């Protein structure tokens, strides 16, 4: 039976939808809010801001994270900045322009209503964060500074050097800690969600494992919020923290939450290249560096082995400036990544294995002086030098694309509720705002918009609109879910095979990078769909999980996450195979223009692909939410 995908987009003019919707939503009386209990899974920007705000409103909140502190959530790793349509530079920005840039940047595969709301509330986020004391960069006179990011011709990105995510997370974290101290939030660090519990078809709680004691615990609530981030680590090598995973979202998917556009993954063009087979993760170099750095490769393959200073200006190919003169080095991420791959495939890549391009600051240092570049990017330059032992002030950085973000996620409506009533999904864990390609500096914007300014309204509407009976963890559904988790945990420990969890993860990642990475085709995707089930079968037969289920066991934690990746990776490839077009980060080589750009098929694929779990061993069911464009004109993306 097909799911009913009701996006619940309010009627009326685009600019008035959110205000109209806020007025029409039902409210919970302030005195009644303390009667409700909300679970928030995840403590990054979306989770921490949601937990703190809901507690401030009077709800009882339980917040869970697998890290040893909420401030270690992966949001802390974001470097370059956060977008907002403040137009402080008076350079032509507006809510409408941010809306259009985001829709266009996502290659017209996102909902107009959700994206416009994101642009609207962006201006409030900056005010909120400044009030919290977030130390945004400022001009000499004290005004907040802005810089440019990819896919925009205005400067709308607010930043704190190369540590914006860290500073924003500390702002949300202090708000969260205030509520923890007050007693409004109960914090559960080092707890990993392993199952969602449904009672009468509604999300009423979760099953978690205490990662210190090994105890399996049940927690009941009136609503569950997932703010668990993206699934980029399915590729094994990514810029994500090693703990990032798909487990919470995938457990919810198997309980009935549709998974939308899983093949929409973002490859970031500005990362330190892979150094060898020993590597377990990759390091991002902020997109902000492309404000002043110029990307180039040698024009002739025979020059690739030379020192960069030995290559004359006339023998350098500044390929982004050449191919996309209007946006140059700040072309969107999907386009810049494919251009880098194209140059390396042409035999003009630099560094070990020929998988790298130069990001050169010589012109900027000459124009602005070394001190100005240090002030803007000092911590990033230091990080690069520590990792590569090369001085980027003296020698161009070597960069290459790497998996960074996932636009796909659990399907949600305008209220951020999934296809399971009571299960709301925030931030990168949902699919809602970025279409097929996210613009730089928009992830932090979405996480804080969802947590501070959207979910406090919409979760109240859900609670006020539904009569929820009191449920305790003694309920049969909780008992059954806890038993399922315990048996699965024990099964990992009893296999006692010969291969490590990491070896399976690395092999899966290579399959996905080769067949479902920057470029995809039907042949490769079918090969992946044949290989992944075989690898999964071998995993369940031959994986070796050391230790016991009692106490700290990182091998056991990884086994659970990789088991879910082995199922989810197949869903990604199915989604990529079915979408016979190229759009944003989804580049099917069969569908490209004569000059190698993405070729959309709006007639057949202007929809959200929402996949429904059909049961063990059964193919997932595809549901489609048509995308209507009433305020922007569907056109071929051009950054030339």
Inter-CA distances, 334 with 323, 404, 427, Å: 14, 11, 20
Gap between the Cα atoms of 125 and 131, Å rounded: 10
- Look up 333 and say whether it is catalytic: yes
How many helical (H) and strand (E) elements, i.e. helices and strands, does the chain have? 18, 19
Q: What is the DSSP letter of 584?
A: T
**Quick one: 618 exposed, middle or buried, by C-beta within 10 A (0-12, 13-18, 19+)?**
exposed
Q: Which of 117, 290, 294, 333 is catalytic?
A: 333
Which secondary-structure segment (H or E) carries 252? helix 247-254
Inter-CA distances, 577 with 30, 334, 406, 507, 585, Å: 49, 19, 17, 20, 14
Residues whose CB falls within 8 Å of the CB of residue 551, separated by 6 or more in sequence, listed in order: 212, 213, 214
Beta strands, E only, 337-463:
357-360, 397-406, 409-410, 423-425
Question: What value does the CA radius of gyration of the chain take, rounded to a whole number of Å?
Answer: 24
Partners of residue 623 on adjacent β-strands:
610
Q: What is the DSSP letter of 471?
A: -
Exposure string for 297-331, b = 16+ CB within 10 A, e = fewer: bbeeeebbeeebeebeeeebbbbbeebbeebbbbb
Choose among 49, 43, 36, 44: nearest CA to 64: 43
Tokens of 531: 């290989």
CA 193 to chain CA mean position, Å? 19
Tokens of 600: 């959309």
Gap between the Cα atoms of 238 and 282, Å rounded: 5
Gap between the Cα atoms of 59 and 412, Å rounded: 22
Choose among 443, 406, 413, 427: nearest CA to 102: 443
Tokens of 101: 């840039």
Gap between the Cα atoms of 344 and 353, Å rounded: 10
Gap between the Cα atoms of 543 and 503, Å rounded: 9
Choose among 10, 33, 259: nearest CA to 120: 10
**Quick one: 218 exposed, middle or buried, by C-beta within 10 A (0-12, 13-18, 19+)?**
buried
The Cα angle at residue 335 between residues 331 and 337, in degrees rounded to 5? 105
**Quick one: 154 exposed, middle or buried, by C-beta within 10 A (0-12, 13-18, 19+)?**
buried
Gap between the Cα atoms of 194 and 198, Å rounded: 14
Active-site residues: which are they? 333
């Amino acid at each position: 039976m097909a799911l009913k995908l009701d996006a619940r987009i309010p009627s009326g003019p685009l600019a008035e939808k959110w205000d109209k919707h806020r007025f029409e939503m039902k409210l919970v009386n302030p005195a009644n809010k303390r009667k409700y209990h909300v679970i928030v899974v995840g403590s990054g920007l979306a989770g921490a801001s949601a937990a703190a705000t809901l507690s401030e409103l009077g709800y009882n909140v339980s917040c869970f994270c697998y890290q040893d502190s909420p401030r270690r959530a992966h949001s802390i790793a974001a470097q370059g900045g956060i977008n907002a349509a403040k137009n402080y530079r008076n350079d032509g920005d507006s809510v409408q322009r941010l809306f259009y840039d985001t829709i266009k940047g996502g290659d017209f595969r996102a909902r107009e209503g959700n994206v416009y709301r994101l642009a609207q509330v962006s201006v409030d986020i900056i005010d909120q964060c400044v009030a919290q004391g977030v130390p945004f960069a400022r001009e000499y006179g004290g005004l907040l500074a802005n810089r440019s990011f990819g896919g925009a011709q205005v400067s709308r990105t607010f930043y704190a050097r190369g540590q914006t995510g860290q500073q924003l997370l500390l702002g949300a974290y202090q708000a969260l800690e205030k509520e923890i101290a007050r007693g409004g939030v109960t914090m559960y660090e080092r707890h990993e969600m392993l199952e969602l519990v449904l009672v009468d078809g509604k999300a009423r709680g979760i099953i978690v494992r205490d990662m210190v004691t090994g105890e399996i615990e049940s927690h009941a609530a009136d609503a569950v919020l997932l703010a668990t981030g993206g699934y980029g680590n399915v590729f094994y090598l990514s810029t994500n923290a090693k703990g990032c995973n798909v487990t919470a979202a995938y457990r919810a998917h198997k309980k009935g939450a549709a998974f939308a556009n899983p093949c929409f993954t973002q490859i970031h063009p500005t990362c330190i290249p892979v150094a060898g087979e020993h590597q377990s993760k990759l390091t991002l170099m902020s997109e902000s560096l492309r404000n002043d750095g110029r990307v180039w490769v040698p024009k002739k393959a025979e020059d690739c082995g030379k020192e960069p200073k030995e290559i004359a200006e006339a023998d350098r190919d500044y390929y982004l400036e050449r191919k996309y003169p209007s946006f140059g080095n700040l072309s969107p991420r999907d386009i810049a990544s494919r251009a880098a791959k194209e140059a390396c495939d042409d035999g003009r890549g630099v560094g070990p294995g020929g998988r790298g391009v130069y990001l050169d600051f010589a012109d900027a240092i000459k124009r602005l002086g070394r001190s100005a570049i240090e002030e803007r990017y000092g911590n990033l330059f230091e990080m690069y030098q520590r990792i590569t032992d090369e001085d980027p002030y003296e020698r161009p950085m070597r960069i290459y694309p790497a998996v960074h973000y996932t636009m796909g996620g659990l399907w949600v409506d305008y209220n951020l509720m999934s296809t399971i009533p009571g299960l709301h999904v925030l931030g990168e864990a949902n699919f809602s705002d970025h279409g097929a390609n996210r613009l730089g500096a928009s992830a932090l914007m979405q996480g804080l918009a969802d947590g501070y300014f959207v979910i406090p309204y919409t979760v109240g509407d859900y609670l006020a609109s539904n009569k929820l009976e009191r449920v305790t963890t003694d309920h049969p559904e909780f008992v059954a879910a806890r038993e399922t988790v315990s048996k699965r945990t024990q099964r990992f420990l009893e296999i006692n095979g010969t291969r490590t969890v990491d070896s399976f993860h690395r092999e899966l990642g290579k399959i996905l990078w080769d067949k479902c990475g920057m470029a995809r085709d039907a042949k490769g995707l079918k090969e992946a769909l044949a290989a992944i089930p075989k690898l999964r079968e071998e995993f369940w037969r031959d994986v070796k999980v050391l230790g016991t289920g009692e106490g700290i066991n990182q091998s056991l934690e990884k086994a659970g996450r990789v088991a879910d990746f082995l199922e989810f990776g197949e869903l990604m490839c199915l989604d990529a195979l079915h979408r016979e077009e190229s759009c944003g980060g989804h580049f099917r080589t069969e569908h490209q223009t004569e000059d190698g750009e993405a070729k959309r098929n709006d007639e057949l694929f202007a929809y959200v692909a929402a996949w429904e779990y059909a049961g063990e061993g059964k193919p997932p069911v595809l549901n489609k939410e048509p995308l209507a464009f009433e305020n922007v004109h569907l056109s071929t993306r051009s950054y030339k």
